[in-house]
Structure 1
Amino acid sequence: MAVIYFVACLAVIVANLSQVPSAIATIVREAFVPQAAFGGVVGVMVQGIRRSSFSNEAGVGSAAIAHAAARTDEPVREGLVSLLEPLIDTVIICNMTAISIVLTGVYQDTGAELSGVQMTASAFSSVISWFPIVLSIAICLFAFSTIVSWSYYGIQAWAYLFGERSTIIFKCIYVICTFLGCLASLSLIIDFSDLMLLGMAFPNLLGCYILSNEVAADLKDYWSRLKSGQMAPVSETALSTSL
């Protein structure tokens, strides 16, 4: 679904290719106008940080749980691979979405009162009339994959704290919370999620700071072994671990 979304953004950009430079200029210009500087730059920065946490979970520590399940002899290599996630999620996908919205001008349609997914769907429909249907399906699949992935994170954390045998308790709590989340308002869910992400990020960033010297030493050792040829090629290593 991410590929389909990427292709849709690309279609909008290609259809308005001549206007791409002006769209980028608009984004940069509007970010630094006096109204933006004096009208709530701190609030905009906070909002950006909150949305970036939703986008790539950077600093939250959840991605480490997923990558810890990888079968590899080189944890540093796995960490380097994980750097692709924020690049794809935020730098590429989010920027292409923003450019698509600016190119189509839907953000200027104040009468429609569009926001979020509705604005994105309107931007896509200006070039691909039927794509909002595909986008709705993609959103459902993205939501489902998010539910599954975060349940795995929670189960691993629960098993670490309380033992593997009691994970059924967490599963029941998770299902109940998922059901209640469908009934609550979106703003309430987002505010609650922001609070929980902050609760995760604070101890994780503190731990990253404390262990930064060890991480730097491991990275230095990895690069030195890689440059000296002491490490097997990726394909051979992957083959040996899979066997």
Structure 2
Amino acid sequence: MIYAALILGLLGSFHCVGMCGPIAFLLPLDRTNRSRRILQLISYHGGRIFMYAILGMAFGIVGKGLNVFGIQQYLSIGVGVLMIVSILLPVTIFNRYNFSRPIYKGVSKIKSAMGAELKKKNPHTFFTLGYLNGLLPCGLVYMAIFGALATGNALQGSLYMTVFGLGTIPLMTTAIYLGNFLKGSAKQRIVKAIPIVVVIIGMLFILRGLGLGIPYISPSEMVTVQEVTAHHQCH
């Protein structure tokens, strides 16, 4: 499912530019020294991906805990359904219940910390801005976290989120250099494609959980923690 994370990152970065673009545009890059500017960009993206990797590991551990109860396949199906439902439900429902209200205070603190870092311009500023950026609420990041949860493994969850983060780099970097470079019908077509991609990835997770015997997509058996433990005990 790693390739799904890369696709989600590549196409989802169009959404990321809209959400995180203002932050990226404010990065205090050194416009006079090309080498230093590149290092600053690497540091910023490194901070984002570092935070994504930590989140992936954390939710991978949660998924592993659920696998102890032998529900790995059900978890994969559930994650796929959540992805699809989150796309199909009208936005007005989310606005009505305002699911993100409880974390507003946390988001406010993150933004304040980012504002303070923008003023400091220390060597570690860009890395700090990156990992703080990775903590900001984002629908596409939530989708990727669902995927990390479904892996049921700390390392695989971390890898899933890392690949997702790598997929966002090309467009985010272009946006930092050129601003809102993509306009008009081309941008609209790509933005419209993002929900379709999320639904397809959700369907892949459902197929993975159904165990239909399709190589790489829907293997007939998913190894659980109990099976691995039993295997070692036999030897």
TM superposition score normalised by structure 2: 0.27
Q: Which has the higher contact order (CA 8 A, sep 6+)?
A: 2
Query: Quick check: which has more Rg, 1 or 2?
Result: 1
- Please report the TM-score for the alignment, with normalisation by the length of structure 1: 0.26
